[in-house]
Structure 1
Amino acid sequence: MGESPVLIADSGAIRRITIQRPDKLNALNAETIAALTEAFHDADADPSVRVVVLTGAGPKAFVAGADISEMADMGAMDGRDFGLRGQALMRTIETLTKPVIARINGFALGGGLELAMACHLRIASDNAKVGQPEINLGLIPGFGGTQRLLRLAGRAATLELCLLGAPITAARALELGIVNEVVAVDALDARVDALATQLSNAAPLALRAILESVIHGGECALGEGLQFEGAQFGLMFATADMREGTAAFVEKRKPSFSGR
């Protein structure tokens, strides 16, 4: 077997998942989608992992899109299956019980933007470009782009990006709410590492409850979302982390959360 298209490295409670196809600008082919799906399932199941950072190898691209050379010869059913596998990966990331940070270094186009939008936080370098250029190939976004972009940036921006197919700057993406923060290229690693460290020190059960409440609430009516949030809020009172957090506040010290 050849080298895996995905590199996994741990630093304490932080797992870094790197797509390593720099010669293809980290384009998503079937093998890479399968490897990423496995990597995220493993991260979710590993109790030593508290936060995940996702990025692409090399300075040019986070992920420049789906692998067009692989897609070119697909028929209708093959294309449908490829899209569904991509959607399943994005859903796995979106519903992960641990925070996922997208470190966007360069191009995040098509499937790359869809991958970034499935993550919980997105930090981009100031030279990054994002977009949904599928229209230029006679296609539409197939990994959830029309739906997640709509929820992040609204109808007008979604139609602009999807209908025109032109990439936008990181600064514009920040204005539209597509990314959370834009930093200088040489500050990207330090900023992502600081956020990952902050999250790795936070209460894991509370992080999970927040993620689940936000995802659930985004897909249901307000009343149901409030009920779900209330139930999660109540459950936190049964955790050792809640006792530790409140005690640390009273005692004016930093809490040490155990995930119990």
Structure 2
Amino acid sequence: MTEHLVTEVRGAALHVTFNRPEARNAMTFEMYQGLAEACTRVDEDPSLRVLVLRGAGGRAFVAGTDIAQFRGFTGEDGVEYEKKIDAVLGALAAVKKPVVAVIDGHCVGGGLGIASCADIRVGSSKASFSVPIAKTLGNTLSANTLRRLVRAFGEPRAASMLLMARRVDAQEALLSGFLTEVAEDLDEAAERVVAEVASGAPLTQWSIKENLRRLNAGGEVDDSDVVSAVYGSEDFAGAVEAFLTKEPMEWTGR
């Protein structure tokens, strides 16, 4: 990790902070790589239950990719860049544990792509969402990133955001379902949401994420391996007994 991407373990959560407040947390390629490494870390560490993403400074979650990195780009460079971003966002979307995005201020371009890969998003009343490339750089999005935005906002809203460079405020994001909650005390809301997620059944959470991933891939879904893994787990057997005997359950993820 670098000074621009800070990681910290708090309880059962790995917190990743995009830490370039002077640049509204615009992403460098090094920061994208650090995010991919955080995804691997949270999946490989059984003590970690949640991945939490947040921007530093209170002005932005992430204000896109650092534009200075685009100088001298060719068409081939653009293809390679979008492939790299697809790989990082694909890794984030594939994290087996819940991902929570805490959004204060602007969530723009690549930042919105990152937030769209989260499972749960909470924001402040200052949160806003846009991809203004039609009026700024004149670049484009990969089909994979576009598909995530369409799933997150619905096609009509995503199209208007992109074609008109339209900004969506916190209340519209809440009504659209993109945000789970708009909170005045964002720190308190984030702590509460993370605690609720971390207290849930790990294999249930994994199974929901995995089957959603398969459904989003299209076609018929064979979920027999997922269902078998959950119903055949020590957690399920223990939870049944705990429920019937009215004893507390401690999840192990096994």
TM-score range, shorter chain: over 0.9
Correspondence list, 1:25-104, <5 A: 25-104=24-103
What amino acid is aligned across from residue 241 of structure 2 in structure 1? A
For the 8 Å contact 2:4–2:20, the answer to whether it is kept is yes
Question: For each residue in 1:17-62, what CA deviation from the matched residue of structure 2 results, as whole angstroms up to 9, or x when unmatched?
Answer: 1111111111112111111111211221112111110111111000
Question: For each residue in 1:84-136, what CA deviation from the matched residue of structure 2 results, as whole angstroms up to 9, or x when unmatched?
Answer: 11111111111111110001111101111111001111111111110111111
Match of 1:151 in 2: 151
Measure, in 2, the Cα distance between the counterparts of 1:3 and 1:250. 49
For the 8 Å contact 1:131–1:166, the answer to whether it is kept is yes
**Shift of residue 194 of structure 1?**
1.3
Match of 2:233 in 1: 239
Match of 1:169 in 2: 169
What amino acid is aligned across from residue 187 of structure 2 in structure 1? D
Measure, in 2, the Cα distance between the counterparts of 1:101 and 1:165. 26
**Shift of residue 3 of structure 1?**
4.3
- Residue 242 of structure 1 aligns to a residue whose secondary structure is helix
Measure, in 2, the Cα distance between the counterparts of 1:251 and 1:243. 13
For the 8 Å contact 1:134–1:141, the answer to whether it is kept is no
Equivalent residue in structure 2 for 1:204, among 195, 202, 205: 202
**Shift of residue 143 of structure 1?**
8.2
Stretches of structure 1 that go unaligned for 5 or more consecutive residues are: none
Measure, in 2, the Cα distance between the counterparts of 1:152 and 1:220. 16
Measure, in 2, the Cα distance between the counterparts of 1:145 and 1:81. 14
**Shift of residue 69 of structure 1?**
1.7
Match of 2:141 in 1: 141
1:59–1:183 CA distance, 2 compared to 1 (3 A)? same
For the 8 Å contact 1:129–1:169, the answer to whether it is kept is yes
Q: How many residues align?
A: 253
What amino acid is aligned across from residue 114 of structure 2 in structure 1? L
| Identical residues among aligned pairs (%) | 29
Task: Decide which moves more: 193-202 or 207-216.
Answer: 193-202
Measure, in 2, the Cα distance between the counterparts of 1:194 and 1:81. 39
For the 8 Å contact 2:13–2:49, the answer to whether it is kept is yes
Match of 1:256 in 2: 250
**Shift of residue 207 of structure 1?**
1.4
Measure, in 1, the Cα distance between the counterparts of 2:215 and 2:87. 20
Task: Decide which moves more: 244-253 or 104-113.
Answer: 244-253
For the 8 Å contact 2:128–2:168, the answer to whether it is kept is yes
Measure, in 1, the Cα distance between the counterparts of 2:73 and 2:124. 34
Question: For each residue in 1:148-184, what CA deviation from the matched residue of structure 2 results, as whole angstroms up to 9, or x when unmatched?
Answer: 1111222211110010112110111122222222111
**Shift of residue 78 of structure 1?**
1.9
| RMSD over aligned Cα atoms | 1.7
Task: Decide which moves more: 59-68 or 141-150.
Answer: 141-150
- Residue 101 of structure 2 aligns to a residue whose secondary structure is strand
What amino acid is aligned across from residue 163 of structure 1 in structure 2? L
- Normalising by structure 2, report the TM-score: 0.94
Measure, in 1, the Cα distance between the counterparts of 2:83 and 2:183. 33
Task: Decide which moves more: 207-216 or 241-250.
Answer: 241-250
- Normalising by structure 1, report the TM-score: 0.92
Stretches of structure 2 that go unaligned for 5 or more consecutive residues are: none
For the 8 Å contact 1:51–1:196, the answer to whether it is kept is yes
Would you identify which runs of 4 or more consecutive aligned residues in structure 1 move more than 3 Å?
142-145
